[in-house]
Amino acid sequence: MSPGVNMSAEALSNFVAAIFRDAGCSPEEASRISDNLVEANLTGHDSHGVVRVQRYVHMLDEGIVHADKTPETVMDGGSMLVLDGQFGFGQTIGPIAVDAGIDRCREHGLSAVALRHSGHLGRIGAFAERAAGAGMVSMHIVNVANSRLVAPFGSAARRMGTNPYAFGVPRPDHRPVILDFATSIVAEGKTAVAAQGGPPVPDDALVGPDGVTGDPAALYGEIVPGERPRSLDGPGALRAMGNHKGSGLSVMCELLAGALTGSGTAGPDVVPFCNGMLSIYIDPERIDIDETFAADVTSYADWYLAAEPLDDSEPVLLPGDREHQRRSERMRDGLDLPGDLWISICSAADFTGTPLPETGDQR
């Protein structure tokens, strides 16, 4: 097993930005990508962090994603927009689409943005945080066109992507409530992290020819250290969370984020890999005519958090609290990158001709 490294968020972000500059992105886009990936690591979502570097670099090289694109407006209906991300990096396309939704919501009180053909949008909660920062309630429904990773309830065949939802509710004088989850038991990236030496996934997260398993090989087949695992190579699938209910939520992502946006689904037609996202924004100031929303959110949140925990070492948390805690810890302690993950980032740097940084703490 190769040694891992510990790096500060800043040092890691600088290195990753250099890789994407050398890969052909503008300095601004390279920084957006690196900041977004490192922020995902900081918030504890290693599945959507720098584990993606090697894959993104190869996607750029293979023309699956394009550098420095901006969304094209397909339809402008005032409170409703259809945007085409032109297969640009999600770290550029996503924030532009969200800002458009916020602007339209400010104008109309309610807005919907159907985003099609975006490159991988990463941690969807980042968009709910962005909208909450602007004072908006938001919900984001996402699918992954041409990504067949998850089996429907009652099957081991691949029919859906990992299809996340994110919701954000702003709170006055406090961080927002952000719920952000994949509809698979684990996000595919967490399985990739596990396959690259990171923490294991639950032992019911996948299904293979021999039934339910926690072995990433069900998805990836043989895993070669330093090579990105290929999710097409395995004989099985990820499992949807919540049995028939999670399977149903995932179907809705295919229909709303894939079919309704025009982005494409995980169905039988061969369409280009991309994220589709249907986002809905509500301005609480416009709907809250009794002006009770902020006080009600605060008093409900306090009451919820006062629930006695079953285990004193596991306090009750609101959605978004875990990410906040992780961020503080990882800013303080630096980011631990397992050996295989570090090798995969160095392989990407080798591919783009980017010099490796000094790494202090090898473990």
Q: Which residues bind ligand NAD (CB under 6 A)?
A: 45, 47-48, 120-125, 142, 144, 162, 164, 166, 178-182, 186-187, 190, 275, 317, 319-320, 322-323
Which among 161, 146, 128, 107 is positioned nearest to 279, based on CA atoms?
A: 128
Nearer to ligand NAD (CB atom), residue 21 or residue 39: 39
Shortest Cβ 335–ligand NAD spacing (Å)? 17
Rounded CA separation 304/295 (Å) = 14
Shortest Cβ 297–ligand NAD spacing (Å)? 16
21-50 exposure pattern, b = at least 16 Cβ within 10 A, e = fewer: bbbebeeebbbbbbebbbbbbbbbbbbbbb
Rounded CA separation 168/160 (Å) = 24
What are the phi and psi torsion angles at 232 (to 5°)? -80, -15
Nearer to ligand NAD (CB atom), residue 18 or residue 37: 37
Nearer to ligand NAD (CB atom), residue 18 or residue 281: 281
Shortest Cβ 51–ligand NAD spacing (Å)? 11
Instruction: Please say whether the beta carbons of 309 and 315 come within 8 A.
Output: yes
Helical residues (DSSP H) of 207-292, grouped into ranges: 217-220, 243-253, 284-287
Shortest Cβ 356–ligand NAD spacing (Å)? 28
Nearer to ligand NAD (CB atom), residue 273 or residue 351: 273
Residue identified by tokens 């008093």 is 299
Q: Give the alpha-carbon dihedral of 132, 134, 136, 142, to 10 degrees.
A: -60
Task: Characterise 146 by phi-psi region: left (phi > 0), alpha (psi -120 to 50), beta (else).
Answer: left
Nearer to ligand NAD (CB atom), residue 30 or residue 205: 205
Nearer to ligand NAD (CB atom), residue 292 or residue 328: 328
Structure tokens at 3: 């040694």
**CB hemisphere CA count around 252 (13 angstroms):** 13
Structure tokens at 137: 């309630």
Nearer to ligand NAD (CB atom), residue 292 or residue 325: 325
Shortest Cβ 201–ligand NAD spacing (Å)? 9
Shortest Cβ 316–ligand NAD spacing (Å)? 7
Shortest Cβ 68–ligand NAD spacing (Å)? 20
Residue identified by tokens 């006055």 is 172
Strand pairing report for 237-239 and 150-151 = parallel
Nearer to ligand NAD (CB atom), residue 39 or residue 84: 39
Shortest Cβ 158–ligand NAD spacing (Å)? 15
Instruction: Please say whether the beta carbons of 195 and 52 come within 8 A.
Output: no
